[in-house]
Every structure is written in structure tokens, then in C-alpha cells.
Structure 1
Amino acid sequence: MSDKAERRAARAVVAEYHEAELRALVAQVGEAIDRHRAGELDAFDVDRVLFQYSRAAKELWKFCNLGRVEIAAAIIRERPPSDWWEHGAPRERP
């Protein structure tokens, strides 16, 4: 396989992974909005979810777009990072 074909295959792996993980993050937001509409969460709770989503999506984006795509694809194939939602969790102050 040529370098160009390998890079194209790696981009496809990363793009598929990015979309699937982003879909899971968006589902968290959708659930929070549904719970807000049902009266289970207040606006501040939803805001915290949106903040966490933003941080998690940025971390996911950085993983998928910084550095060589072949390296990201190899990591995804071998041991994909887990739980981007937790990567976006605010740090607790001591």
C-alpha cells in the first residue's frame, strides 16, 4: 500500500471514530435538554452539561486532528481512548 493510500485509510479510521465519539457526546447534551424540559434539571444543570460537552469535544478534536493521522489511527485500532465525556469533566477544586 502506498503512503498516500495508507494516509487516506488512516484519515477514514480517524473520521469514523471522531464522528462516533462526537455522536455520543451530543447524546449527553440531548439527554440533559430532555431532562430539563421534563423538569428534572434546572438551567444551571444544563449549563454544566454544555460546559462539559464543550471541553470533551475540544479534547476529542485535539486527539483526532493534531499530529500525524497515521499515529491517531494506530491508537484507535489498538487501544482507543475511552470516555471523552470524563475528559471534559471540570476539575474539582481541593
Structure 2
Amino acid sequence: MVSTKPERRAAREAVAGYHQAQLALLVERVGAAVDRYRAGELDAFDIDHVIFQYSRAAKELWKFCNLADVETTANFIRECPPDDWWERGAPRKR
């Protein structure tokens, strides 16, 4: 099925909105951890771990939003949006 220009634009906007909203959730986690570090609840290694996990999660989110056809991604977001990108960025346990 060939989509129209407005349909492609709407799909791009949907994916961009999803990406921004999910990225904001990831950034909030980092911000909360930095606040805990400043309060003395976490040490530098803890923050390093949080930033590392953020980096991995943001990369996975970026891949999801950018590597497939935008209309396919938009449909997937509408029908079954992936969640918990934070956990997807967690280092694998050995």
C-alpha cells in the first residue's frame, strides 16, 4: 500500500513524539540519580552506571525509532508501543 504525503508526515510526527516522550522519561531517571548523588545517597560509580544505562537505553530507543520504515514504526507504536526502554538499556548479567 502506498501512503500519501500527509500520512507519511503524520507517521513521522507520531514517531518523533513517541521518541521525545520516551527520551524525556530516560532523562528524568538520570536527573533523579544526579539529585541523589548531590544529596550524598549515591557515589560516582553509581552515577557512572546510571549514565551508562541511559546511553544504552537511548541508543536502543533511537534504533527502534529510526531503523525501520517510519509508517511501520508508527503503526507499531499505535498498536503495541514498547515500554521500559530503561530496562532494555540494562547491562546484561553474566
- TM bin (shorter chain): over 0.9
| 1:17 corresponds to | 18
> Which structure 1 segments of 5+ residues have no match?
none
Q: Distance in 1 between matches of 2:70 and 2:56?
A: 22
Gaps spanning 5+ residues in structure 2: where? none
The one-letter amino acid of 2:76's match is I
TM-score (norm. length: structure 2):
0.96
What does 1:8-87 align with in structure 2 at a 5 Å threshold?
A: 8-87=9-88
TM-fit CA distance, 1:5: 0.9
Aligned mates of 2:4, 2:73 — CA distance in 1: 16
TM-score (structure 1 length as normaliser): 0.96
* Partners of 2:68 and 2:75 in 1: CA distance: 12
* Deviant stretches of 4+, over 2 Å: none
RMSD, matched Cα = 0.7
Letter in 1 for 2:88: H
Q: Following the alignment from structure 1 to structure 2, what is the Cα–Cα distance between the partners of residues 73 and 67?
A: 10
- Residue 6 (structure 1) shift: 0.8
